[in-house]
Amino acid sequence: MIYTQTVEKLRSLRLEGMAQALEEQRQQSNILDLDFEERLGLLVERQCLWKENRGLAVRLKNAQCKISNASLEDLDYRPSRGLKRAQIDQLRAAQWVQHHRNCIVTGPTGTGKTYLSCALGVQGCRDGYRTHYFHAPKLFRELEVARADGSMLALLKRLSRTRLLIVDDLGISNVVGQTLSRVPGNPR
């Protein structure tokens, strides 16, 4: 089979990582020193890496974190911040996500709650979890609109597929009581 046909077939099979790696291998003069299995192994490894990176990029885009480059590695552990490295390491392990538990981040204004929440969201994306970040008033508006236009079921279905849901500024939103009072069956 001719090289260009091979690359086209790889792309038609959605093996973009392999196609890119094959093109790179073709430009390397010393690649012929490797036997067939080694070269094939490099192609397969590249495809796996490409797929993982693409999945991460999609999860990060869909998460819509307010701070998309937040990272647990960049957290500031000065004593004045009140963060404990051991607690953050426990959160990083994400057992709480696996066990469908909640995590509430509290503290005074300006202490980095949003950054920490976004960093946990980015870590969740890295760990393969579907993640979504909401600023509380925006989430409540979306719920209100969905209730009004009849798309509540679709919105709830989309949210139920989200493994890690981050709701930021929940405590400062006065919309919480208003929204809950309008939910059918709520005695408020």
Q: What are phi and psi of 20, to 5 degrees?
A: -65, -40
pLDDT of 74: 92
Give the Cα separation of 24 and 13 in Å (integer). Answer: 19
* The pTM of the whole model exceeds 0.85: no
pLDDT of 112: 87
Of 3, 20, 28, 9, residue with least CA distance to 54: 20
Q: Which two tokens stand for residue 148?
A: 């009004």
All structural domains of the chain: 3-62 (no CATH), 64-181 (3.40.50.300)
- The runs of H, that is alpha helices, within the chain are 3-12, 16-27, 36-63, 85-93, 95-98, 113-126, 136-149, 152-160, 175-181
Per-residue pLDDT of 118-160, as tens digits, reads 999 999 999 999 999 999 999 999 999 999 999 999 999 999 9
Residue 131's DSSP bridge partners are: 164
pLDDT of 184: 52
Positions of the chain with pLDDT lower than 70, given as ranges: 1, 172-188
